[in-house]
Amino acid sequence: MMSAVLQYIAFLVILVVLAVPLGKYSADVMDGNRVFLSPILSPVEKLIYKLTGVRKDEEMTWKTYLICVLYFFFIGMAFLFVFQMLQDKLPFNPQNIDPMSWHLSFNTAASFATNTNWQAYSGEGQLSYFSQFMGLTTQNFVSAATGIAVLYALVRAFVRVKKTTIGNFWVDMTRATLYILLPLSIIVTIVLFSQGVVQNFAPGQTAHLVEPVAADSEGNWIEGAKIDLNTHTVTVHGKKVDDAAIITDQFVPMGPGASQIAIKQLGTNGGGFMGVNSAHPLEDPNVLTNLIECIALLLIPAALCFSFGLSIKNKKQGKAIFAAMFIMLVVFLGIIAYNEQAATPQLAHDNAVNIAMTDDQAGGNMEGKEARFGIAQSATWAAFTTAASNGSVNSMHDSYTPLGGLVTMLQMQLGEVIFGGVGCGLYGMLGFALLTVFIAGLMVGRTPEFLCKKIEPYEMKWAVLVCLATPIGILVASGIAAVWPDVAQSLNNAGAHGFSEMLYAYSSAGGNNGSAFAGFNANTPFLNVSIGLTMIFVRLLPIIGILAIAGSMVQKKKIAVTAGTLSTTNSMFVFLLIFVVLLVGALNFFPALSLGPIAEYFSMIM
């Protein structure tokens, strides 16, 4: 018991200890200051500006900034789409993998350009190395950098007084990639490949199975078969199986994994190199890699809270936002951990199965979890990955207990603002902060203001849209899918859990998360297109809203702090902010959650 609690505490403490200095460093980078890596990276930065024709000191209005984001988004997506469609004709395809279908390619391109990394495909089987590292890895970097850029456009709007411009998108995006994401990725990559994560360009290998297995004529595994290699016969319960194939070798996937896995964790992307993501032993082989990957997935979003405080010259504000996020994270982590450790009566099977936590075993609900991670390392990852809009997994959320699974879903439905994606989680939370000061202002009858700038109807309209983008995306799309004829065939489990699988899919898309109740077969034309469009909608609408707010805020004057000003840095504000986030989420999603995980919970205990 103690050792499990210590593990949870270790994760949280390490996260905060690393986030504070990274926050300071990132603030310097985004404010355009020199940092300790400048001597090495500054020449590269200048080279990139030269190659792309960027004028470093050119300032942009919010509309120009937005147009640049959109051009960059759609062109990046188009490149990825084309790579995947032509992967059989491009190099680095030693497994001779076929091109993707148009709808799967659209879905995947939308998924990685929006920083979602929803995967309707399996990496080792359906993507060439070229598509993986030229396409996905690139988008992993730049989609995360875009999030940081948009965040800093908003930061400048609060800092600047009576101006019209909010920075230069190309400079912001380049500096975020070069100074923040790239150095961290290099460190993580080196740790990963030294511990057994694959990093090569070799084709997949085959290895000798100690015990051969048999498959029937349709290619399905025959359970309980007796195999005689000398006479080449397969028998089941004494009966010979005709046309059975004996399989003597195993597939061992290869490829440039570590470098892609590093950035998919750091950039809150989450798209696994392998189909089962970091549950795969070649993607996350031991507790050291798991610690690094798990911390990496929440590190930058947590650090940016402190960067925000430093850049707006109000450290307390950064800490207040961090506190609101951290409190929610700890509570949700606690609920997941408790439920997974308690497991289910169906698994305990009247005490025939030992689900107790001892020194020799993790116990708990181990279905879909790896022995090396047990409950603590799996539950922590599940809480972190759905809090951050990362979406990578090291255990299968589909096999979580009803309430453990509910929390992972709820964290996404809250709009991915409990740290959330790199940059986008924080600007989403700032949308909620505007909503909070507005509601609080109405209650006390004062004009709402945030960081000494007046909040007026124009900003409020956009803030509401930013906050409601996720609920609208999830509820509309999953509502349509629920009545669409063939969707039921994609479900892997029956009853309420089947509904949960579909709701999870759209929650994941609508929160730009990317994790899945992976039994759900999402690779159909309808699901690929509808999930793809949902991801684009919930990515772009908040970006447009935040930049519009920035464009308006930057023109305002600062008003003096008086005794009547509502403090946005005290514990009262932290409480109100949490309250508003939960209220919006609960009101929107309670009915849908009742039909899925809550219904399943009650049928489980009956």
Q: What is the DSSP string of 552-605?
A: HHTTSPP----TTSPPSSSHHHHHHHHHHHHHHHHHHHHHHHIIIIIHHHHHHH
Q: Does 221 bind another protein (CB under 8 A)?
A: yes
Other C-beta atoms closer than 10 Å to the C-beta of 488 total 12
- Binding test (CB under 8 A) with another protein, winner from 1, 3, 485, 591: 3
Instruction: Kindly report each contact of residues 206-214 with a partner whose C-beta sits within 8 Å and lies 24 or more positions away, as own/partner.
Output: 206/249, 206/250, 206/251, 206/252, 207/249, 207/250, 207/252, 208/248, 208/249, 208/250, 209/247, 209/248, 209/249, 209/250, 212/246, 212/247, 212/248, 213/246, 213/247, 214/241, 214/244, 214/245, 214/246, 214/247
Q: Does 349 bind another protein (CB under 8 A)?
A: yes
Q: Which stretch binds another protein (CB under 8 A): 28-36, 192-200, 463-471, 585-593?
A: 192-200
- Binding test (CB under 8 A) with another protein, winner from 115, 116, 268, 290: 290
CB-wise, 96 or 562, nearer to another protein? Answer: 96
d(CA 272, CA 79): 20
Q: Which stretch binds another protein (CB under 8 A): 217-225, 307-315, 537-545, 561-569?
A: 217-225
Cβ atoms of residues 306 and 419 within 8 Å:
no
- Binding test (CB under 8 A) with another protein, winner from 64, 93, 235, 524: 64
- Binding test (CB under 8 A) with another protein, winner from 23, 167, 301, 402: 402
Q: How far is the CB of 109 from another protein (least distance, A)?
A: 12
Q: Does 17 bind another protein (CB under 8 A)?
A: no
Indicate the SS3 state at residue 82. Answer: helix
Cβ atoms of residues 599 and 503 within 8 Å:
no
Q: How far is the CB of 28 from another protein (least distance, A)?
A: 22
Question: What is the total count of residues that contact another protein (CB under 8 A)?
Answer: 135
- Binding test (CB under 8 A) with another protein, winner from 19, 109, 279, 437: 279
- Binding test (CB under 8 A) with another protein, winner from 25, 62, 118, 133: 133
Q: Does 51 bind another protein (CB under 8 A)?
A: yes
Q: Does 514 bind another protein (CB under 8 A)?
A: no
Q: How far is the CB of 180 from another protein (least distance, A)?
A: 13
CB-wise, 244 or 426, nearer to another protein? Answer: 244
Footprint (CB under 8 A) of another protein, residues 532-591? none
Footprint (CB under 8 A) of another protein, residues 357-376? 358-374
Footprint (CB under 8 A) of another protein, residues 327-346? 343-344, 346
Q: How far is the CB of 2 from another protein (least distance, A)?
A: 8
- Binding test (CB under 8 A) with another protein, winner from 249, 443, 570, 572: 249
Q: Does 282 bind another protein (CB under 8 A)?
A: yes
Q: Does 220 bind another protein (CB under 8 A)?
A: yes
Q: How far is CA 36 from CA 25, 40, 44, 94, 189, in A?
A: 9, 9, 15, 40, 21
Q: How far is the CB of 317 from another protein (least distance, A)?
A: 32
d(CA 283, CA 197): 5
Other C-beta atoms closer than 10 Å to the C-beta of 330 total 12
- Binding test (CB under 8 A) with another protein, winner from 22, 155, 159, 254: 254
Q: Does 166 bind another protein (CB under 8 A)?
A: no
Q: Does 125 bind another protein (CB under 8 A)?
A: yes
| Phi-psi domain of 514 (left: phi exceeds 0; alpha: psi -120 through 50; beta: other) | left
- Binding test (CB under 8 A) with another protein, winner from 19, 29, 54, 463: 54
Q: How far is the CB of 60 from another protein (least distance, A)?
A: 9
CB-wise, 119 or 470, nearer to another protein? Answer: 119
Other C-beta atoms closer than 10 Å to the C-beta of 13 total 10
Instruction: Kindly report each contact of residues 456-463 with a partner whose C-beta sits within 8 Å and lies 24 or more positions away, as own/partner.
Output: 456/552, 458/552, 459/434, 459/549, 459/552, 459/553, 460/434, 460/435, 462/545, 462/546, 462/548, 462/549, 463/431, 463/434, 463/435, 463/438, 463/545, 463/549
CB-wise, 21 or 91, nearer to another protein? Answer: 91
Closest among 513, 595, 549 to 264, alpha carbons compared = 513
- Binding test (CB under 8 A) with another protein, winner from 13, 40, 187, 209: 209
- Binding test (CB under 8 A) with another protein, winner from 33, 164, 492, 567: 492
Indicate the SS3 state at residue 453. Answer: strand
